[in-house]
Amino acid sequence: MIRLLQRDLILALRAGGGFGLGLGFFLILVTLVPFGIGPNSERLAAIAPGILWLGALLACLLSLDRIFALDYEDGSLDLLATAPVPLEGVVAMKALAHWITTGLPLVIAAPILGVLLHLETAAYLWLIVTLLIGTPALSFIGAFGAAITVGLKRGGLLMSLLVLPLYIPTLIFGAEVVRRGALGFEVATPLMMQAAITAGAIALLPFAAAAAIRIALR
Amino acid sequence: MPDLGKYASDVLAAYGITAALLLGLIALSVVQSSRVKKRLKAAEERRKSDG
Amino acid sequence: MASLWEWANPHKFMTWTAKALPIISIAAAVVTVIGLIWGFFFTPDDYRQGATIKIFYIHVPTAMIAINAWLMMLIASLIWLIRRHHVSVLAAKAAAPVGLIMTLIALATGAIWGKPMWGTYWEWDPRLTSFLILFLFYLGYLALWEAIEDPDTAADLTSVLCLVGSVFALLSRYAVNFWNQGLHQGASLSLDKQENVADVFWYPALVALFGFVLMFVALVLLRTRTEIRKRRVHAIELRERVQG
């Protein structure tokens, strides 16, 4: 299992697309927002929580096809499916590798990009906390989406259509906590809801994703 | 025709859109049904003639 | 006694639906038309909503079917995953476009009603937002069916998606509730009569609802029959390709 994680991490690093691409996308998105909205700093501060969360979500989405597509093409997914390790564990490890290469850098980069959008000082802590709690859910939900579209030729666009609606609860609670944090309101309820979604996604979705892969490989 | 007052256009638009969508769906279902029926018939006859 | 599952045998299904479908279709048309004509011509205007109350005879039944169609798809998908009844999953596939159109009608009529009543076509109200999300789930489900060539793989994967999607649809419903308190009124057709609208509006709406339900059943049966036939054509063509 740990070997598998190492392998995926090394592959992601060697391919170069790992840490860089998602972050680059996040940066560009945040840079483009003021061009669309206007440079008014109050307005930017008001929408900053939502934009940062949306940016993280889209950056995550773009790198999802990496999770299974390459392994499917070169046949190593077949090997993994027949290997003496549970496929559920393989899926979980791959989702974890995706989170380490995509989610974690986003968590670290988000506060820096928050400066560009004049995010309220009180909100930084909550931005980091919610991203830390929420991005694993994005990776695990995404792994399910990637699993269900793995054998398809033009799976990319379809996957966004399938995965983005599943991201809605995480996005709502994440952005809500940051928004409330910026205004100094109570944040415990949405934060706990988000944590519950993440825990549920990590616990259950690997089973659904593994089932989908078995069907696709049949 | 009942007097719909100032909301006439809204009510009629709602009924119009509903009718259009539902009839479209029904027409589509019926057309698909008859098309597939024909294809099945042709396929089954081909199978029979092949023996 | 014959088992309940016998009804789901494709051959049996084709036989009994061939007889039942015309009856249900005619009943659906008659009941829907009666309900809507009753509502449209023979009910008074509401004292607050004026003539826009007439939109309610479409809006409420379609909205209820939009939700319950997904529920039916969920049950049918489960039956397929557990008992491998082909008719079951094909019924789920057949119900999806009907549910999609019902969702669209509920959204459209709601928007048209909202303009004069709330002063806006669209408000990010929990109920409206949930319906938009439901619409997206229908789109995703249908798109996945279209994308996969092998029919059994498609059936399995869409069923898994339907299960996971149901959980997330429910989660979204609560998340959206939390996110914005709305201006939509509560359920207008609950069985608890205390909360209901006045009888004059209730009875025609109930008839219309019954009509729409029959229409849903008729459309799903018709579309399921089409899907079964499609499957048969597919099987024959496959055999021809192998032999030829």
Chain C residues in contact with B3 (beta carbon < 8 A)? 51
Residues 41-60 of C with CB under 8 A from B: 41, 45, 50-52, 54-55, 58-59
How many angstroms separate the CA atoms of A33 and A56, rounded? 14
Lookup: tokens for A73:
């093409």
The residues near C176 (Cβ < 8 Å, ≥ 6 apart) are A168, A172, C126, C129, C130, C133
For an interface test with C, the pick among A168, A173, A187 (most C C-beta atoms closer than 10 Å) comes out as A168
Please list, residue by residue across B27-36, b when 16 or more beta carbons sit within 10 angstroms of its beta carbon and e when fewer do: eebeebbeeb
Give the per-residue pLDDT at C190.
46
Residue A32 has pLDDT above 60, yes or no: yes
Amino acid in position C169: A
Higher pLDDT, C1 or C148: C148
Query: Three-class SS of residue A122?
Result: coil
Q: What is the model's pTM?
A: 0.89
Amino acid in position A80: L
The residues near B33 (Cβ < 8 Å, ≥ 6 apart) are C222, C223, C225, C226, C229
Give the per-residue pLDDT at A204.
93
Give the per-residue pLDDT at A37.
86
Identify any residues that bridge with C243 across adjacent strands, giving them in sequence order. none
Tens digit of each residue's pLDDT (9 = 90 or more) over A149-204: 987 877 778 898 999 999 999 999 998 899 888 888 888 888 999 999 999 999 99
Interchain CB distance below 8 Å, C157 and A162:
no
Minimum mean pLDDT range among A33-37, A125-129, C43-47, C84-88: C43-47
Residue C74 has pLDDT above 90, yes or no: yes
How many angstroms separate the CA atoms of B44 and C97, rounded? 28
Residue in chain C nearest B31 by alpha carbon: C226
Yes or no: say if A139 and A103 are a contact pair by the CB < 8 Å rule.
yes
Query: Three-class SS of residue C50?
Result: strand
For chain A, give the percent of residues with pLDDT over 70: 96
Give the per-residue pLDDT at C107.
93
Q: Which helix (H) or strand (E) holds C220?
A: helix C199-243
Q: Predicted ipTM?
A: 0.87
| Phi, psi dihedral angles at C126 (to 5 degrees) | -55, -45
Tens digit of each residue's pLDDT (9 = 90 or more) over A104-151: 889 989 999 988 888 888 888 999 999 999 999 999 999 999 999 987
Yes or no: say if A33 and A117 are a contact pair by the CB < 8 Å rule.
yes
Please list, residue by residue across C174-199, b when 16 or more beta carbons sit within 10 angstroms of its beta carbon and e when fewer do: ebbebbeebeeeeebbeeeeeebbee
Mean pLDDT (chain A) is 87
How many angstroms separate the CA atoms of A169 and C168, rounded? 8
Q: Which helix (H) or strand (E) holds C214?
A: helix C199-243
Give the per-residue pLDDT at A6.
77
Give the per-residue pLDDT at C194.
42
Interchain CB distance below 8 Å, C165 and A165:
yes
Higher pLDDT, C180 or B23: B23
Residue C242 has pLDDT above 70, yes or no: yes
| Residue given tokens 């995926």 in the structure block | A8
| Residue given tokens 């825990």 in the structure block | A199
Residue in chain A nearest C149 by alpha carbon: A152
Residue C222 is nearest to which of B4, B10, B29, comparing CB atoms? B29
Tens digit of each residue's pLDDT (9 = 90 or more) over C165-218: 999 998 888 888 877 765 566 555 544 444 456 677 778 888 999 999 999 999
Minimum mean pLDDT range among A4-13, A73-82, A119-128, C227-236: A4-13
| Residue given tokens 């990009």 in the structure block | A113
Residues 199-218 of A with CB under 8 A from C: 205, 208, 211-212, 215-216, 218
Yes or no: say if A105 and A23 are a contact pair by the CB < 8 Å rule.
yes
Mean pLDDT (chain C) is 85
Chain C: give the shortest CA distance to residue B5, in Å: 7
Contact C98/B at CB under 8 A:
yes
For chain A, give the percent of residues with pLDDT over 90: 35
Give the per-residue pLDDT at A203.
93
Domain ranges in chain A are 2-217
For an interface test with C, the pick among A68, A166, A180 (most C C-beta atoms closer than 10 Å) comes out as A166
Residue in chain A nearest C137 by alpha carbon: A165
Interchain CB distance below 8 Å, A216 and C153:
yes
Give the per-residue pLDDT at A136.
94
